[in-house]
Copies of this chain bind each other. A is one copy, B any other.
Amino acid sequence: MIEPLMLNLRTRDHVTMHEEDVLKRLIEQRREFSAGEDLVQQGSRPSFSTVLLKGIAARYKVLENGSRQITALHVAGDFVDLHAFELKTMDHGVVGMTPCQVGLADHGGLRKISETEPHLTRILWLSTVIDGAIHREWIVAMGRKSRKSHLAHIVCELFLRLKVVDQTRGMSFALPLTQLELADVLGISLVHLNKTLQTLRRDAVLTWVNRTVTIENWDDLARIAQFDPTYLNLVCEAR
């Protein structure tokens, strides 16, 4: 089922039953990946794009010295490499942070959609452009926010993105990452991430036990993060 994808898209624009049908036929094939497995290899030229249906995945690059930077996190309902339909060659890898179930969208089928379904094409285009907006927000957080603020920002963002696809419970959500993986998101060391996390716990804005984050005080968390959700485009309007 491509439910999460539909929840994701319908948060931003109306999608007709016909368009939903087209997507269902596009994304017939399924695959499963275990945690730590690459969903997409850097340098590959995939003939299909991948929609995450279950789990959490990350785009990443590894540098010469072996350090890794995660450039994006993806949740159910996200295309993890729709841009590959345009770029052809993957300039980064995508790895599962958890066991992942995905759907595959053939590039031939996508091309056909771009020829016959202009509105649906714009919606798909939109979803790549929202990726870009998130990238920009991450750049701002990395460049000009404190690590504490950056971490708070990531939590705020993940909460809202997971809420869209119905993966939150109250103010809690599953965050089955290790601290090392989170450090690779922020671009800091494991030790420093650990200490930064503790400052947020000490401020009583969140807890993170049993791989589950609970936001205890959204307003304070958002204030620490200087979080403004505009960039997530959680607004349904004609595109």
Using CB atoms and an 8 Å cutoff, list the residues of chain A in contact with chain B: 43, 59, 61, 63-64, 67-69, 71-72, 83, 86-89, 91-92, 111, 114-115, 118, 121-122, 125-126, 128-133, 135-140, 142-145, 186-187, 226, 230-231, 233, 235, 237, 239
Given the known interface contacts A68-B144, A71-B136, A136-B135, the answer about A230 and B63 at a Cβ–Cβ threshold of 8 Å is no
Q: Which one of B69, B86, B121, B235 contacts A126 once the chains associate, using CB atoms below 8 Å?
A: B86
| 15 sample A-B contacts, Cβ–Cβ < 8 Å, listed by A number | A69-B143, A71-B136, A83-B133, A86-B122, A86-B126, A86-B129, A87-B129, A87-B233, A89-B233, A91-B133, A92-B136, A121-B125, A132-B132, A139-B142, A142-B143
The CA-CA distance from A86 to B128 in the complex, in Å, is 10
Contact A143 B89 (CB under 8 A): no
Report copies per complex: 2
Distance to closest chain B CB from A193 (angstroms): 12
What's the Cα separation between A132 and B43 when bound, in Å?
Answer: 17
Chain B contacts for A89, CB-based, 8 A = 230, 233, 235
Q: Which of A121, A144, A235 has the most CB of B within 10 A?
A: A144
Chain B: minimal CB distance from A202 (Å) = 22
Given the known inter-chain contacts A86-B125, A87-B126, A122-B86, please indicate yes or no for A136 contacting B72, CB distance below 8 A: yes
Contact call A71/B226, Cβ cutoff below 8 A:
no
Q: How far is the CA of A69 from the CA of B226 in the complex (A)?
A: 14
Cα separation A142 to B92 with both chains bound (whole Å) = 16
The interface centre, meaning the residue of A64, A125, A133, A237 with most chain B CB atoms within 10 A of its CB, is A125
Interface contact B142-A226, CB-CB below 8 Å:
no
- Chain B residues with Cβ below 8 Å from A88 are 233, 235, 237, 239
The 4 closest A-B pairs by CB, nearest first: A143-B187, A135-B135, A132-B132, A91-B231
